[in-house]
Amino acid sequence: MYDKVCVACGTRLSEFYQTYMLGCPKCYASFEREITLAIKKTHGAVEHTGKIPKTDGIDKQLLTEYQNLIKEKENLAIDGKFSRIKEVSDDLLRLSEELKKRGLL
């Protein structure tokens, strides 16, 4: 049986199938067809489409509120309204703790 070998590092295609690890960057070119088939078989596609976080209405509302508080705090600092910054910082802290619990931060 024919076992392809990477010309640069000597890694064999059979090794790739055992470990799903390549020996060097040249392996990608040497085994392109086989790697593409393995990825497609495993993931269903070879292009990365990314993930969009699934958030419900309340999560979106909390994230929007968090972003608004950050902007407000920045504007307060620019305007020199330092007495209100502490209050907004406390709100930000409480909200960030809630967002962390929800896995959003």
pLDDT cut 90: percent of the chain above it: 48
Q: In the numeric block, which tokens belong to residue 39? A: 């990825």
Gap between the Cα atoms of 65 and 102, Å rounded? 15
Gap between the Cα atoms of 86 and 82, Å rounded? 7
Confidence of residue 20 (pLDDT cuts 50, 70, 90): confident
pLDDT at 51: 62
pLDDT tens readout for residues 52-96: 566 678 888 899 999 999 999 999 999 988 889 999 999 999 999
Is the separation of the CB atoms in 4 and 10 below 8 Å?
no
| Domain boundaries of the chain, sorted by first residue | 1-50, 57-101
